[in-house]
Structure 1
Amino acid sequence: MTDAARPDAEDDHHWLDDDHPREECGVFGIFGHPDAATITALGLHALQHRGQEAAGIVSFDGRRFHSERRLGLVGDNFSKASVIEQLPGSVAIGHTRYSTTGETILRNVQPLFAELAGGGFAVCHNGNLTNGLTLRRQLIAEGAIYQATSDTEVILHLVARSKRNRFIDRFIDALGQIEGAYAFVGMTNKKLVGARDPLGIRPLVLGRLDGHPIFASETCALDIIGAKFEREVDPGEVIVIDEHGELESLRPFAPRTPRPCLFEYVYFARPDSIAGGRNVYEVRKRIGATLAQESPVEADVVVPVPDSGVPAAIGFAQDSAIPYELGIIRNHYVGRTFIQPTQSIRELGVRLKHSANRAVIEGKRLVLVDDSIVRGTTSRKIVKMMREAGATEVHFRIASPPIRFPDFYGIDMPEQDKLLAAKMSLEDMRAYLGVESLAFITIDGLYRALGETGRNNAAPQFTDHYFTGDYPTPITDLVSEGAKQLSLLAEAS
């Protein structure tokens, strides 16, 4: 049996990662501040949880654009004065990346930059364009020359080819041609621009530091620099900061009922961020409490899978009156590539990142709480670790519904046939994980934890397709690729 066929197979790239959806990306931009690049680097540091593969900053000093794009962590690349000195100017935008489309190579690291007819334009993007490949093929057929494999480059070509006169009109013209989820931050030699997709799937907020406007993916990026949160960029809104620092709000698209991404609350956003007017930490505690009400269990101790399972485990423990303990200790200093992932080392993988706290676990009935299960590979190993540490029973409680469908909006979830809940029944998953009981929060329970009465099936309040299969926008690339495959099959037959 090949690795690809084994249910517990893990590719080399993620052999040491938690069994969670991979992060999205983080964007940041500031206008008019004398230390724009330094502020941007600090903002990206706060957004590091959204992507750890690469980071980049572009600044403008009034005459020239300056760019530094590096593979690796923000702190490893932008903490040195020698790097920041290469980024002079009072306007800067930055990006921290986890690749959902395109390879992890330097030419894909954002912000991307191009010289257009009206001057330079730099842009960075959180999300994924569901017609990006289709547009890319069309543009290349018409003579466009691509430098990167990221879908973000589409926006540069669309802006460059627009026949509108003003830059902002060309930018809006480009937005009108794309589908999917996006939060864009862009800059020209005169303007800073922020834009959010019409459904508000990807987050973007507006803040100010000493009067200077800022765009960021999350409010935690404002907190780290002492900036004031002003408001969220509304779904479908384009905000333009002109050369005088004046703000103009444009709403070029027909209004739609917002559907922000549920996974921001379940996993992606930092717990200290505010999203949709809700404190993420408090939401996650309520999710845990709701989970305890829906799926109670007799146990001695509640143990979180760190770090993302911690708030939900606290909520579960408080609601069920079962003691909360740190039964798993996480090592935060293990990198992906500190050692070659040979088979013998691969088998140690989960222990390099998580260690059992035997004093808490031995002889106890555990409630193990995690935010989600994707492939189930790491979850299975953690359960085994609990058994070996002396747990008499392990009851698994998951603070999201079963993930049965892939994502096309900027979350790196595997194909459907690699999703555990898409392949197995609840009982089969329980047996595969090796636990006494397994329960997920219901979709209505998740909505209630967010302050709703439940899911409005006629008009869902959030983007939740990974649980329900209800995709909020067309998936043009998937449809066109399917049609292409059918055409090839027909030709071969």
Structure 2
Amino acid sequence: MAGCRPGSTNGILLPDKPREECGVFGIYAPGHDVTRLTYYGLYALQHRGQESAGIAVADGKKVQLYKGMGLVSEVFSGDQLNNLRGHIAIGHVRYSTTGASHPVNAQPLLFRYAGGMLGLAHNGNLTNVTELRSRLMATGSVFQSSTDSEVIVNIIARSAQNGLEDALVKCMIDIKGAYSLVIITENKLIAVRDPHGFRPLCLGTLGEGYVVASESCALDTVGAGLIRDVQPGEIVVMDENGLESIQVLKPRKRAHCIFEYIYFARPDSFIDGFNVNMVRREMGRVLAGEYPVDADIVIPVPDSGTAAARGFAEASGIPFEEGLMKNRYIGRTFIQPSQEMRDLGVRLKLNSVREVLNGKRVVMVDDSIVRGTTSGKIVAMLRDCGVKEVHMCLSSPPITRSCYYGIDTSNEDELIAARLSLEEICRSIGADGLYYLSLDGLLNIFGNSRDNFCTACFDGNYPVEVAKPKETGKYSLE
């Protein structure tokens, strides 16, 4: 368990959350308006990426694509949706974990190869992408983007002489790291998940058709029923013959991303058999058991700490209150040209309720601290409201390592828990106490599945090997 109670304050002023990954959606549903259903599915996955969005649609003869920078609602209009017609579609919302935030890197990617047309949308990061790209370029491949997703497309195209499914099998043997893929051809929808199962991917039905998505909340949004998760190492092919499952690689040690449950996934989603909201509530209950703080009220940092705060309140018997209000109309980060405007930015997103907070000893629950910047501003905001004590409780262990599998958790020298002790972090955010959920407490929530998760950002145990060269001190991938 990790907790401390120091005294003085210090201010650090940088963003304080891991960045979203990406979201993918695919549908094979003759007789349905697959373009609009994909649009709605991407809306449900918008929390996974806000930089760009795209939809590719196939009608049996051709594949059409439209994509652009911005939110789903900004990229697509009614006319654009009307022009994309067919019975198969894939979609993507993106936050760039590899490749710059640029229109050429927006997905899906669409290519013409010997077998016809192929579109691909990818969630995750390849760890051997540098080696693969160099090998492909040495033998004549030309790349239009800087994403690792285009490397996957090139490998597929080079191995497609005996059909797309055979090419995918060969591709899965070559590539390493995290990938959940949805692939579209003129007449097929294909879903692929890496053999560790890093990134989520689920499968559902819509009438006689099929839907795949990063999270089950997208299936719910379009009226599809959840069947199961795509298994690690599995290819699922959906076409006029129905559904075919190909277990290409035996599932290696499962390494589902634990941060999906802590922060990234929507609370109403089911991922690998667990409801995200219920897991988060249990995190709060376990946290309360590990640290019985004496306080008057429990408040969440909305929305990331809400479920855990409710669990903490239930287990501790301390009343749950909404002491911070979130502005629901704040979207992507706006330009903040001065320090004064950066400080104001937190108050545009969150405001405190003085009547709830004044004179109280407060437990404030959030999911994590990455850099320690926003947390300090929120604590200062509570002090301004007359709060007597602020005890910061986090429903995750300290983040001390970078992620290489599709989440942007910053370089290790930017991670506050990698640089400072617990007491130093507590002083830097100005709290009276700082308490992290223990790793054992977190994993025990999952019972017999506790060994099925990637926890590298907490303990440095990378499922796909990561080397640390002595000459640089920086982590690199092998």
TM class by smaller structure: over 0.9
> Which residue identity is paired with 2:341?
I
CA distance in 1, matches of 2:472, 2:315: 51
Structure 1 equivalent of residue 121 of structure 2: 124
2:455 pairs with one of 436, 452, 464: 464
Contact 2:21 2:123 in 1 (8 A): yes
> Which residue identity is paired with 1:103?
A
Q: Deviations over 1:413-449 (max 9, x none)?
A: 1000110110011111111111111110000100122
Contact 1:290 1:445 in 2 (8 A): yes
Q: Deviations over 1:24-44 (max 9, x none)?
A: 111000013331111111111
CA distance in 1, matches of 2:446, 2:249: 27
Kindly state the Cα deviation for residue 141 of structure 1 after the two structures are TM-superposed. 2.4
Kindly state the Cα deviation for residue 93 of structure 1 after the two structures are TM-superposed. 0.3
Structure 2 equivalent of residue 283 of structure 1: 279
1:421 pairs with one of 417, 429, 432: 417
Q: Deviations over 1:460-480 (max 9, x none)?
A: 3211100110000134xx67x
> Which residue identity is paired with 1:65?
V
Structure 2 equivalent of residue 384 of structure 1: 380
CA distance in 2, matches of 1:7, 1:328: 20
2:304 pairs with one of 308, 328, 334: 308
Alpha carbons of 1:340 and 1:422: their partners in 2 closer, same or farther (altered >3 Å)?
Answer: closer
Structure 2 equivalent of residue 148 of structure 1: 145
CA distance in 1, matches of 2:157, 2:412: 37
SS at 2:341 equivalent: helix
Q: Which runs of 5+ in 1 are unaligned?
A: 1-5, 11-16, 487-493
1:58 pairs with one of 56, 59, 68: 56
CA distance in 2, matches of 1:416, 1:330: 29
Contact 2:400 2:458 in 1 (8 A): yes
Structure 2 equivalent of residue 491 of structure 1: none
1:199 pairs with one of 196, 204, 209: 196
Alpha carbons of 1:28 and 1:375: their partners in 2 closer, same or farther (altered >3 Å)?
Answer: same
Stretch of structure 1 that moved more, 344-353 or 231-240: 344-353
Kindly state the Cα deviation for residue 485 of structure 1 after the two structures are TM-superposed. 7.0
1:72 pairs with one of 61, 70, 73: 70
Matching of residues 57-456 of structure 1 within 5 Å: 57-78=55-76, 80-162=77-159, 164-242=161-239, 244-336=240-332, 338=334, 340-452=336-448
CA distance in 1, matches of 2:360, 2:215: 39
> Which residue identity is paired with 1:141?
A
Contact 2:63 2:185 in 1 (8 A): no
- Whether 1:8 and 2:5 are equivalent positions in the alignment is no
CA distance in 2, matches of 1:351, 1:452: 43
Contact 1:180 1:474 in 2 (8 A): no
CA distance in 2, matches of 1:163, 1:49: 35
Contact 2:11 2:428 in 1 (8 A): no
SS at 1:152 equivalent: helix
Q: Deviations over 1:117-175 (max 9, x none)?
A: 01000000011101112211221222211101111000111011126411110122112
Alpha carbons of 1:163 and 1:450: their partners in 2 closer, same or farther (altered >3 Å)?
Answer: closer
CA distance in 1, matches of 2:165, 2:42: 26
Structure 1 equivalent of residue 42 of structure 2: 44
Kindly state the Cα deviation for residue 60 of structure 1 after the two structures are TM-superposed. 1.0
What is the count of residue pairs matched by the alignment? 463
CA distance in 2, matches of 1:349, 1:155: 39
Q: Deviations over 1:49-75 (max 9, x none)?
A: 111111000001222211110111112
> Which residue identity is paired with 1:467?
F
CA distance in 1, matches of 2:119, 2:160: 19
Q: Which runs of 5+ in 2 are unaligned?
A: 1-9, 474-478
Structure 2 equivalent of residue 13 of structure 1: none
The two structures, once aligned, show a CA RMSD in angstroms of 1.8
Kindly state the Cα deviation for residue 334 of structure 1 after the two structures are TM-superposed. 2.3
**TM-score after normalising by structure 1:** 0.91
Contact 1:31 1:245 in 2 (8 A): no
CA distance in 2, matches of 1:74, 1:175: 30
> Which residue identity is paired with 1:422?
A
Stretch of structure 1 that moved more, 341-350 or 460-469: 341-350
Alpha carbons of 1:452 and 1:389: their partners in 2 closer, same or farther (altered >3 Å)?
Answer: farther
> Which residue identity is paired with 1:225?
V
Identity %: 48
CA distance in 2, matches of 1:328, 1:108: 37
Kindly state the Cα deviation for residue 483 of structure 1 after the two structures are TM-superposed. 9.2
CA distance in 2, matches of 1:327, 1:313: 12
Q: Deviations over 1:186-207 (max 9, x none)?
A: 0111211001010111110000
Contact 1:32 1:245 in 2 (8 A): no
> Which residue identity is paired with 2:462?
Y
Alpha carbons of 1:336 and 1:464: their partners in 2 closer, same or farther (altered >3 Å)?
Answer: same
Kindly state the Cα deviation for residue 23 of structure 1 after the two structures are TM-superposed. 0.8
Alpha carbons of 1:9 and 1:133: their partners in 2 closer, same or farther (altered >3 Å)?
Answer: farther
**TM-score after normalising by structure 2:** 0.93
Alpha carbons of 1:419 and 1:44: their partners in 2 closer, same or farther (altered >3 Å)?
Answer: same
Contact 2:46 2:71 in 1 (8 A): yes
SS at 1:201 equivalent: coil
Alpha carbons of 1:368 and 1:9: their partners in 2 closer, same or farther (altered >3 Å)?
Answer: closer
Contact 1:212 1:245 in 2 (8 A): no
